[in-house]
Structure 1
Amino acid sequence: MSTVDLEAFGKASKTEFPANKKLKEKLKKTKPKDLDTTFHQLHEEAFREIDCLDCANCCKTTSPIFIQTDIDRLARTFRMKSSAFIDEYLHRDEEGDYVLNSAPCPFLGADNKCLVYEDRPKACREYPHTDRKNMLGILDLSLKNTLVCPAVLKIFYEIGKEYRK
């Protein structure tokens, strides 16, 4: 496993963003039939090299969307009412979704471990979403995640080798 240099990653992800945006548009236009398989294979490879606990950039910089079941589960974990959990930790964003009041995540430990890992939100469980079905349908989200997750940036880089030709 390699150590993640978040400063270098931040620069690289911004530099590569225009090319990754073009790649996303090309993929949406050409609709490759093997896109899910390619993403899933590259997801596995990327996470053999990158350790989330070494990085935790997603937890440091962004907020997951909290659905009601997440809120209820975490409220139970903290032995509080769901409304009290919302009041203390969440607000509604421009789209009306519940998100964290602050970054980094208040549940991120100093060792980059999630303090509520077993009860974490669904969005955290599924992040960075590069092993889901219908990757074509979430390419916009995946492109945004190239700015947050070194693994997603690596996946786009590898896909680009094949599809930017």
Structure 2
Amino acid sequence: MSDILDQWQRKAKDQQKVNKQFLQKLQTKKGKGTERLLPDLHEEAFEKIDCLQCAGCCKTISPRFKTPDVKRISKYLGLKESVFIETYLNLDSDGDYVVKRSPCPFLGEDNYCGIYDVRPGDCRNYPYTDSDEFYKRPNTTYLNSTICPAVYYVLERLRTKMAL
């Protein structure tokens, strides 16, 4: 495993201030130069990281379940939308549907997702390491760097590359 990933959770906590400042600078520069680096760094990270060994996202945070997600997933599970919502979801303070509890109720003991083929859009796009969401939402990226080793990896590699 990469030296960057060795004890990544401790390092992410130790680097909180530096990473937060870096992400805020990226946002003010509108990611200038970042967008061309992210796809390769994303690929590099996932050559080193197996999500099934971690599942930190599924264990700690909830995706938003938009109306199309609710329709698709409830149909897949053979449930009425109202029953799906009542069984699995709550409205958060932003008015978005999120899972009632963590870890995600669809996460298996083997870290496989029970609804992977129909998972919510947020799950499909997570961890946003290959899109402009990475620098457009610095607070989210900063938080994700303490949850997901891929985000931490991309952030550290990006800081190194941007310093050149």
Alpha-carbon distance, 1:13 to partner:
1.8
Corresponding residue for 1:33?
32
Within-5 A mapping of 1:1-150: 8-133=7-132, 135-150=134-149
TM-score in terms of structure 2 length: 0.89
Unpaired stretches in structure 2, ≥5 consecutive residues: none
Q: Give the Å deviation of 1:50.
A: 0.3
Structure 2 residue matching 1:99: 3-state secondary structure: strand
Per-residue CA deviation, residues 7-60 of structure 1 (Å, 9 max, x unaligned), is: x44322221111100101221233453211112211110000001111111011
Amino acid at match of 1:110: E
Q: Structure 2: how far apart are the matches of 1:109 and 1:135?
A: 28
Q: Is the 8 A contact 1:35 1:135 kept in 2?
A: no
* Structure 1 residue 135, shift from structure 2 partner: 4.2
Q: Shift of residue 133 of structure 1?
A: 4.1
SS of the aligned residue for 2:103 comes to coil
**Letter aligned with residue 160 of structure 2:** K
Partner secondary structure for residue 90 of structure 2: strand
In the TM superposition, what is the alpha-carbon distance from 1:164 to its structure 2 partner?
Answer: 4.7
Read off the aligned partner of 2:74 and give its amino acid letter: A
Assess if the C-alpha contact under 8 Å between 2:31 and 2:136 holds in 1. Answer: no
- Structure-1 separation of matches of 2:14 and 2:47: 24
Q: Aligned pair in 2 of structure 1 residues 134, 121: CA closer, same or farther (>3 Å)? A: closer
CA contact (8 A) 2:69 2:119 kept: yes
Q: 1:132-161: per-residue Cα shift (whole Å, max 9, x none)?
A: 246432333222211111010011111111
User: SS state of the match for residue 137, structure 2?
Assistant: helix
Aligned residues: 162
Change in 2 beyond 3 A, CA 1:107/1:134: closer
The amino acid of 2:125's aligned partner reads E
Superposition CA RMSD, Å: 2.1
